[in-house]
């Protein structure tokens, strides 16, 4: 396995993380501070890496590493229009619902910390094979504050990027079972679930879905948060969920 620590550390050293770190609401492809063009910075240093923005984190995917870098946002920017004649301004709001499992001493804004805690619990419960290896890697000192940096094993392909013909055919038995019990598996992409049943076994997947629901991991497992590793094994890649902006 190629972690490529030197490359990971180099990327982290080049990324500046401001105190108010977040993307613009309803536009997760746009980070608010246009001066922080991370793709440009990495390319300038001849680093081949893809940069993606989610609702709760920045993800950097180096081409020459089997792990990606995940940096959690501590909030989001919302465009507000205090005056009808104004174009509006970006106002920053801190996240406050990240710690839905009520972990002692956990941050209320750090969805990556939440993801690691849920991963460790899943491993302890015997379901680690369904998840990508994820852990806190280091802290980056930014002037007078430290910011957590996480890493996660790279996924080969995300279901969001796949077409129906990209999935391997499944047995008639698996297909029939899914059709008869599909309401038990409706929280995850159908084709991913069928592939998981073929790989792990129907009973194993059924028990795993019960674990997902019992531990509130099923709320945000859309096709962009599930996929397949380099061996074609079905895995989850983002299971922290998203709760800010909702009433609880």
Same domain, 80 and 2: yes
Distance CA 54, CA 227 (A): 16
Question: Residue 34 has what pLDDT?
Answer: 43
- Count of domains forming the chain: 2
Distance CA 228, CA 154 (A): 10
Same domain, 73 and 25: yes
Domain termination site, one of 126, 154, 182: 154
Same domain, 208 and 165: yes
Question: Residue 181 has what pLDDT?
Answer: 96
Question: Residue 27 has what pLDDT?
Answer: 53
Domain termination site, one of 154, 170, 186: 154
Residue 67 domain boundaries:
1-154
Domain termination site, one of 154, 188, 220: 154
0.75 surpassed by pTM: yes
Same domain, 144 and 85: yes
Calculated CA dihedral for residues 169, 130, 48, 7, nearest 10 degrees = -150
Question: Residue 84 has what pLDDT?
Answer: 67
Distance CA 17, CA 40 (A): 15
Question: Residue 31 has what pLDDT?
Answer: 52
**Helical pair 202-214 and 172-181, crossing angle rounded to 10 deg:** 30
In a domain, 236, yes or no: no
Same domain, 124 and 202: no
Burial per residue of 3-32, b for 16 or more beta-carbon CB atoms within 10 angstroms, e otherwise: ebeebbeebbeebebbebbbbbbeebeebb
Same domain, 190 and 73: no
Coil, strand or helix at 76? strand
Question: Residue 53 has what pLDDT?
Answer: 86
**DSSP run (H or E) holding 91:** strand 89-94
Give the full edge-to-edge strand order of the sheet including 157-158: 157-158, 226-228, 234-236
The size of the chain, in residues, is 248
Asked whether the beta carbons of 98 and 110 are under 8 A apart, the reply is: yes
Question: Residue 25 has what pLDDT?
Answer: 67
In a domain, 241, yes or no: no
Question: Residue 28 has what pLDDT?
Answer: 52
Burial per residue of 193-232, b for 16 or more beta-carbon CB atoms within 10 angstroms, e otherwise: bbbbbbbbebeebeebbebbeeeebbbbbebebbbbbeee
In a domain, 186, yes or no: yes
Question: Residue 248 has what pLDDT?
Answer: 43
In a domain, 237, yes or no: no
In a domain, 244, yes or no: no
Asked whether the beta carbons of 53 and 60 are under 8 A apart, the reply is: no
DSSP string, 195-229: HHHHHH-HHHHHHHHHHHHHTT--TT--TTSEEE-
Look at the block and give the residue holding tokens 């081409």. 63
In a domain, 5, yes or no: yes
Same domain, 112 and 141: yes
Token readout for 84 is 């009808």
In a domain, 234, yes or no: no
From the first residue on, what is the mean pLDDT of each consecutive set of 10 residues in the chain (248 residues)?
95 94 68 64 95 91 98 90 72 93 92 97 98 98 94 97 94 97 92 97 97 91 95 96 73
């Amino acid at each position: 396995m190629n972690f490529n620590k030197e490359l990971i550390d180099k990327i982290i050293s080049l990324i500046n993380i401001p105190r108010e770190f977040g993307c613009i609401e309803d536009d997760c492809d746009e980070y608010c501070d246009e001066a922080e063009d991370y793709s440009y910075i990495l390319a300038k240093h001849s680093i081949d890496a893809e940069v993606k923005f989610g609702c709760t984190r920045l993800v950097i995917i180096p081409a020459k590493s089997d792990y990606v870098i995940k940096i959690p946002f501590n909030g989001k920017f919302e465009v507000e229009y205090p005056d009808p004649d104004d174009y509006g301004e970006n106002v920053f709001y801190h996240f406050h619902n990240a710690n839905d499992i009520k972990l002692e001493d956990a941050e209320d804004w750090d969805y990556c910390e939440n993801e690691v805690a849920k991963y460790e619990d899943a491993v302890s419960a015997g379901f680690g094979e369904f998840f990508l290896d994820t852990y806190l890697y280091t802290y980056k000192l930014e002037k007078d504050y430290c910011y957590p940096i996480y890493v996660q094993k790279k996924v080969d392909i995300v279901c969001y990027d796949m077409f129906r013909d990209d999935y391997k055919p499944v047995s008639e038995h698996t297909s029939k079972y899914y059709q008869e019990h599909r309401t038990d598996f409706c929280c995850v992409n159908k084709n991913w679930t069928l592939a998981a049943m073929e790989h792990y076994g129907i009973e194993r997947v059924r028990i795993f879905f019960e674990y997902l629901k019992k531990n509130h991991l099923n709320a945000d497992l859309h096709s962009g948060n599930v996929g397949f590793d380099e061996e074609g094994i079905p895995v989850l890649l983002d299971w922290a969920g998203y709760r800010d902006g909702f009433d609880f």
